[in-house]
Structure formats: structure tokens, C-alpha cells
Amino acid sequence: MITSIGYATLPVPRIGIVNLMPHAEQYERWLMPQLAAASPFEPVWIRLNERKFSLDDPAHIAQNYVSYADAITAAPLDALIVTGAAVEHLPYEQVRFMGELDPIVRAAADRGIPVLGLCWGALAVAHLLYGLPKNVYPTKVSGMYETDRLVADGPIASVLDDRFWSTHSRYAGFDDEALDRSAEVRAVARAVGAGTVIAESLDHNVLMHIGHPEYEGCRLADEYRRDMSAGLTDVLPPANVDLSQPVNRWRSHSLIFFASWVRLVNERVPAR
């Protein structure tokens, strides 16, 4: 796919999206509107053989998802997104699709294309590429958190507000001390109560956002009610969320974050 800007004809980047969220179709509906402010790109939805789409319409998955091998057959991918997954409480060696995900992430890094990890995907990318450990929490980190930008340089950090809202729903997070000792990765933003929110490789090629910038405004309240109905005892009410009238305070952050990352992808697309 190509697009014209002025007199130049530019290739539209092919972005592979490894969708590991429990409800794949629902996640598509969350993620794609957040990318609406971005430059044009072609999403390539990738399925893993060990990722069972038991909560989704099989016909939808068959029509819209391809294996990684098929995804790179027609043309190379220009970037890779790894989404969250409901496995953050498990050791990496117990995640059944980790062995399949590993070579996909490493192939992207070896080729030097931009990689974006979201929520558990951020932890997985950090573990696979840099050996960074995670911390598993006794209670769920859930809610909206005021987040401070720590650095001001780079294609992503330079466009973030000094302080912004980020949204979280997870049982694990970065080991901040290990991250700070790394010679390959740096923290970009942190929040009291949520730890490191955004991290990146020093060459800005690998980006990790441990929140859920793609979430809709009511999602945290809905998850809390779901967890209470399930009788979970390790869940507190989401921080800074009015359960009776939840509002989305992270939308502007989400739009600028994703648009800036896709712009970076476009800048690095080789001529085809």
C-alpha cells in the first residue's frame, strides 16, 4: 500500500499487531480509534498458534488474522505491537505462547524496526530483549494515575506533557531498580502507585507502555464490578475513578502517544 504526500509517493507502513487480549475483537475496537490521529498504516493482525481465541468469533479470527509466517510473506513488517495478556501473574516460562512470541519479537529487534509493547506486552518485550525482571503484586494495580515525565528528549518523550493521566489494570509491573541499572533501557515516565509507566531502549526503537492507553472510559469501573462479582479478594476500587460516573482523563495522552509512535514508524520505513 502507498500514499501520496505532495509530489512524493510513500509506502504505508505495515504494522504487525500480536493481539493477546482475552477478547480480541473488543480490543480491536478499543485500539484502532486511538490510532485515528496517526499517519496512515496497514494493520496486520497476527495470531499465535498457542493463543486460543475461545472468546471470539472463529469466523472473524479466520478472516482477519494471519500467522506470523504468512504476515511476512507478502512484504516485511515495518513495526510490531505486542498487546497485553491476562497472564502477568504467571512466570514467563509458564506462559504457553512465550516460545512462539520470542522469535517474533527478536526478529523485529534484529531488523531494527520499531517495537511497541503494551501492558503485559511491555513486560514481555523487556524480558525477551533485555532480560529485565518483573514484580508481581499482591493486589491489583487499577485506576488512573497522575504520571510524571522523567526525560524530555526522544521522539516519544519530547511530545508528552510533563504530567499526564495514565490508566492501569494489572497484577505486575517493572522492577524499577533493575530497569534503572540497565545500560540498554531507560524510564520515560513514572507514577506514584503505579511505578514505571513508560520505558524505552536508548536508541528509541523499543517502546514499552505498561498501562492501557487504549481503554475506554468505563472500562476500569466495568472490570472492578466484574472482579467483585467473581469474588476476587485481591482487588481494590480503581484509583481516581468515580464508579457511578467514570470519565476518561487519558484520551489526549493516548492519542498523542500512538500518533507519535506511528510517526516514528513512518520515518523509519525503508523505501519499497
Q: What is the pLDDT of residues 129-176, one digit of tens each?
A: 999 999 999 999 999 999 999 999 999 999 999 999 999 999 999 999
214 is catalytic: yes
pLDDT the model gives residue 52? 83
Determine whether the annotation assigns residue 54 to a binding site.
no
Residue whose C-alpha is closest to residue 194's, from 232, 124, 144, 235: 144
pLDDT digit string (tens) for 209-228? 999 999 999 999 999 999 99
* Domains annotated on the chain, with CATH: 14-268 (3.40.50.880)
- Say how far apart CA 126 and CA 210 lie, in whole Å: 11
pLDDT of residue 228: 96
What does the alpha-carbon distance between residue 269 and residue 272 come to, in Å, rounded to a whole number?
Answer: 9
Q: Residue 14, annotated ligand binder?
A: no
Whether 218 sits among the annotated catalytic residues: the reply is: no
- 74-115 pLDDT, tens digit each: 899 999 999 999 999 999 999 999 999 999 999 999 999 999
- DSSP single-letter state for residue 239: B
**Cell numbers at residue 15, please?**
504494522
pLDDT digits (tens, 9 = 90+) for 225-269: 999 999 999 999 999 999 999 999 999 999 999 999 999 999 988
Q: Is 119 a catalytic residue?
A: yes
Grid-cell match 493477546, residue found: 20
pLDDT confidence of residue 122: 98
Q: Is 52 annotated as a binding residue?
A: no
| pLDDT band, residue 10 (cuts 50/70/90) | low
